[in-house]
Amino acid sequence: MPREPTFENALAFAADLIRIPGLPGAEGAVAERVRDEMRALGLEDVRVDDVGNVIGVARGTGNGPTVLLNCHLDVVAEGDHAEWEVPPFSGQIRDGYLHGRGAMDIKGPLAVQTYATAAMMGRAAGDVVVAHTVLEEQGGLGMKILLESGGLDPAWVVIGEATHGDVCIGHRGRAEVEVLVRGVAGHASEPSRAANPLDLLGHVLAGVRDLEVGQPSDPVLGRGTAIATMVEVVPESRNVIPDRALVTVDWRVLPDDTPLRLLTRLRSALDARIKDLPEGLSYEVRIASVSQRTYTGFERSREMFSPGFLMDPEHPAIQAAARAVGRRDAPEQPARIRPWRFATDGGWSCGVHGIPTVGFAPGEEHYAHTNRERIEVEELRWALERYPLLVDALQRSRAG
């Protein structure tokens, strides 16, 4: 007999998941637990892919469009245990809240999505795929690979990052951009033999500041921002003129901003400031990159660019979804439609792959990544009830 998709079982599953730590790149034990739960619930095609994402399917009754539900398997570090009111990996329920690292980001919502999928088996108008992915907290390599590897082809994606019951339709993205100035290293006592990349630093920082003036703005998402956050030199020694200086820029981007466009804008801002390049110096701009390894051993070098996205708030399916969900305190009123303040894997699904994407999940965003992380038990229960209605609204609207 498959496990009953009741709220009590979902809550026990969420609490159990909190007891299994799983930093980005070390989600193996969490993935195993999620896979076992999907099997116990009777989902079909339950599998773990090459990068370690866990996927299960609830077959629908007809040929309605496929909806993909998505949360992530990783959590951020818990920090000093002594600073927590409730131990971070206890999964305790206290004062009406489920507590601990991941309670709202994102193991509570993950349990809700997984159980809602089980409840929709043989009932939904189309297939419902639930896929929980790795490395979301470090840019979303799991989601990127899940979508690139194809085969799923969903008409809609629903992201389970906290919305406190609202329907979220987008967010800004984030890029880490670098300005690398090259010179010629030398002993600080003989500057004439060297070319000091730090000579260009003032111009570079001024050029980055100039970028701020021309940042595009969106009526829903607000403005993009670009700010220098770090300067590094190589070699790092107080009596050596370095041969390289690297300035990092944290850039919050709008959905139309591609890596190429960012680099073009930065290059022209710098060119405007750096009229004559001192001899021996050169500079280049690039997107930062990092090599990542998943718990399954999959390795990939990844550009530090997480795209933004934005759905039209007037889109009929979004309007239908908001009506289907309703407000917890006023069910006859449609859910609020708004953007998130933080980035999610929706940037990959909608921003890069163009798959219509919305967010819906219990949880108050301000508890995310804090040592007070928690999620209200009754809100979890409410969200579990609302999820099938949301999926139904999306499947019955024209896709896209």
Which range in 44-52, 82-90, 102-110, 354-362 contacts Zn ion by CB under 5 A? 102-110
Q: Which residue from 46, 51, 103, 106 is in contact with Zn ion, where contact means CB under 5 A?
A: 106
From the list 136, 137, 166, 345, the catalytic residue is: 136
Q: Which is nearer to Zn ion, 22 or 64 (CB)?
A: 22
Contact 96, 380 (CB under 8 A): no
Compute the least distance from the CB of residue 195 to Zn ion, in Å.
45
Q: How many other C-beta atoms are found inside a 10 Å radius of the C-beta of residue 249?
A: 23
**Cα atoms found within 13 Å of the Cα of residue 253, Cβ hemisphere only:** 27
- Dist CA 205 CA 266 (whole Å): 11
Q: Which residue from 49, 74, 105, 376 is in contact with Zn ion, where contact means CB under 5 A?
A: 105
Q: What residues from 126 to 185 belong to the interface with Zn ion (CB under 5 A)?
A: 161
Compute the least distance from the CB of residue 318 to Zn ion, in Å.
21
Q: Which is nearer to Zn ion, 73 or 245 (CB)?
A: 73
Q: Which is nearer to Zn ion, 70 or 196 (CB)?
A: 70
- Dist CA 192 CA 215 (whole Å): 40
Q: Is 74 a catalytic residue?
A: yes
> What number of chain residues touch Zn ion (CB under 5 A)?
3
Compute the least distance from the CB of residue 189 to Zn ion, in Å.
52
Q: Name residue 223's beta-bridge partners.
A: 217
Which range in 100-108, 194-202, 240-248, 328-336 contacts Zn ion by CB under 5 A? 100-108
Q: Which is nearer to Zn ion, 159 or 179 (CB)?
A: 159
**Cα atoms found within 13 Å of the Cα of residue 101, Cβ hemisphere only:** 19
- Dist CA 257 CA 264 (whole Å): 11
Compute the least distance from the CB of residue 281 to Zn ion, in Å.
42
- Dist CA 9 CA 162 (whole Å): 21
Give a three-class secondary structure readout of 206-221.
Answer: HHHHHHHHCCCEECCC
Hey, what are 385's tokens? 């009830």
Q: What residues from 4 to 33 belong to the interface with Zn ion (CB under 5 A)?
A: none
Give the CB-nearest residue to Zn ion. 105
Bridge-based pairing of strands 64-72 and 156-159 is parallel
Q: What are the φ and ψ backbone dihedral angles of 235, each rounded to 5 degrees?
A: -75, 160
In terms of Cα–Cα distance, which of 109, 157, 120, 111 is closest to 349?
157
Q: Which is nearer to Zn ion, 159 or 253 (CB)?
A: 159
> Cα dist. 323→85, 95, 145, 199, 334 in Å?
38, 31, 33, 59, 4
Binding mask 276-305 for Zn ion (x = CB under 5 A): ------------------------------
Q: What residues from 217 to 256 belong to the interface with Zn ion (CB under 5 A)?
A: none
Q: Which is nearer to Zn ion, 133 or 397 (CB)?
A: 133
294 CB-near residues (< 8 Å, 6+ apart)? 25, 27, 51, 52, 134, 135, 141, 142
Q: Is 148 a catalytic residue?
A: no
Which range in 87-95, 103-111, 281-289, 299-307 contacts Zn ion by CB under 5 A? 103-111
Indicate whether 78 belongs to the interface with Zn ion (CB under 5 A): no
From the list 74, 161, 345, 376, the catalytic residue is: 74
Q: Which is nearer to Zn ion, 71 or 175 (CB)?
A: 71
- The contact set with Zn ion (CB under 5 A) reads 105-106, 161
Q: Which residues are catalytic?
A: 74, 136
